[in-house]
Amino acid sequence: MIRRVLIAGLDAATPELVFHRFRDDLPNLKRLMGQGTYAPMKSCHPPITIPAWAVMATGKSPGQLGLYGFRHRKGSSYKDGWIANSQTIHEPALWNILGRQGRPVCLVGVPPSYPPFPVNGNLLSCFITPDLAHPHTYPPELAPEIASVVGEYLFDVEFRTGDRDALLAGVYEMTEKRFKVLHHLLTTKPWDLAMFVEIGVDRIQHAFWKYFDPGHPKYVPGNKYENAVRDYYRYLDKQLGGLLAILDQETAVVVVSDHGAKGMRGAFCVNQWLMDKGYLQLKNKPDSVISIEQANLDWPHTRAWGWGGYYARIFFNVKGREPQGIIEPGDLEAAKDELILRLKDIRDPAGRVMATQVYRPEELYPESRGDKPDLMVYFDELFWRSAGTIGHGTWYLDENDTGPDDAVHAQHGIFILYEPGKVRGRSLSEVDILDIAPTVLRLLGIAQPKDMVGHPVVLEA
């Protein structure tokens, strides 16, 4: 009988590494796969940390949540925006559903959980927490208890840095403290659902992917960091093993990641391209590289502009919607069609047509609430980041425009389900991120809400 569930979130853990390349180096994850069910997990659109963890916890799409990334445009403003946090999630998550039934939960580092919010149990906030001076636990008195266990707790590390040695040390310190806190909470607090997210996998991959992947354009064999990613996965597996050792035979384990990762080929300067194609005009050219918000745009002669990130968000300048809109509302869909065709015809520096995917939000989601972009663009299946800054004078960058970065996000993360007493060793072709919340509820014997999307991934014995 399953009485409790532990969800181990490994941010950006990648199926190619966990299931294949590093599998024999990860005895605990290998054992869970050998005795359970596992599969690549198709992430949401877009496959980025926020909204993906919120999608997983609520069983609702990004469109239903109104979350299209970490940063959002505010209404039809040219420059104002807002940042996603826990207060922007208005749909019930797993911990809300359990709390209504009086069942205790324990949450550590689950994005977005800052600012901290009341739960029936204990909560330690996630990587978007500014620092320890800000509220970061529920209940508040949990904060000094955590400090007594690990001293100065780390929510995140600066990973876009050239000091790789300091980054390595920081990631290991952060992960060690995270698991000390987890061990303390799981052994001293009541819980029926415990969920944690370790952000270190994501940080290590962004900083060290080019050092170990022969397919990366900047890979150099025999470099000093060639084993940095593998060694961290080994360390994480060992830490996970320590948690597994304290679980009883009534606890199921779900190991998940919000998305995967792959080597970055470069960054595509979306606004420079829009300028060159006549969609965007400046009143004056900048003397240096600046953000689109800092640029002096000639709005009466600008039809579209874009944001950077792992994917590009395109906004059209629509009459009656934007302050200085010029596209007639009735012409908007035709304008989208035209731009989609041109985006899909973009070539890389070698002249190859990129495998670029362009989506309207309303095509991806059953409903698309909130401040959505007009178009969502994955340059070359996400192998190329979107550079939203202006002033590069080229379409192509071989580096990220916001700091050192070796990796981009991939559409598939990992899913492993272990149920005590049910030995399977079964591999599935794919599960969906929307299936995770229904799976957890079924394991705990709780009826799935009718408006929760997805289906349980629980196989009969």
Measure the CA–CA gap between 30 and 33, rounded to whole angstroms. Answer: 5
Measure the CA–CA gap between 435 and 210, rounded to whole angstroms. Answer: 32
pLDDT, one tens digit per residue, over 246-300 is 999 999 999 999 999 999 999 999 999 999 999 999 999 898 999 999 999 999 9
Q: How confident is the model at residue 326 (pLDDT cuts 50, 70, 90)?
A: very high
Q: How confident is the model at residue 59 (pLDDT cuts 50, 70, 90)?
A: very high
24 secondary structure, DSSP code: G
Confidence check: pLDDT of 229 > 80: yes
416's tokens:
């492993």
What residue type is assigned to position 7 of the chain? I
Q: Are 334 and 359 in contact (CB under 8 A)?
A: no
4-264+409-443 is classed CATH 3.60.110.10? no
In this predicted structure, what is the pLDDT of residue 460?
56
Q: What is the 3-state secondary structure (H, E, C) of 314-333?
A: EEECEECCECCCCECHHHHH
Residues of the chain with CATH 3.40.720.10: 4-264+409-443
Q: What is the mean pLDDT of the chain?
A: 96
420's tokens:
């005590």
Q: Hey, is 299 helix, strand or coil?
A: helix
Measure the CA–CA gap between 171 and 21, rounded to whole angstroms. Answer: 22
Taking residue 395's Cβ as centre, other Cβ atoms within 10 Å add up to 18
Q: Is the peptide bond before 139 cis (omega within 30 degrees of 0)?
A: yes
Q: How confident is the model at residue 457 (pLDDT cuts 50, 70, 90)?
A: confident
Taking residue 408's Cβ as centre, other Cβ atoms within 10 Å add up to 29
Average pLDDT estimate for 132-146: 98
Taking residue 263's Cβ as centre, other Cβ atoms within 10 Å add up to 20
Greatest extent of the chain over all pairs of C-alpha atoms, in Å: 68
In this predicted structure, what is the pLDDT of residue 459?
66
241 secondary structure, DSSP code: H
In this predicted structure, what is the pLDDT of residue 161?
87
In this predicted structure, what is the pLDDT of residue 72?
96
Taking residue 171's Cβ as centre, other Cβ atoms within 10 Å add up to 27
Q: Are 407 and 206 in contact (CB under 8 A)?
A: yes
Measure the CA–CA gap between 434 and 270, rounded to whole angstroms. Answer: 31
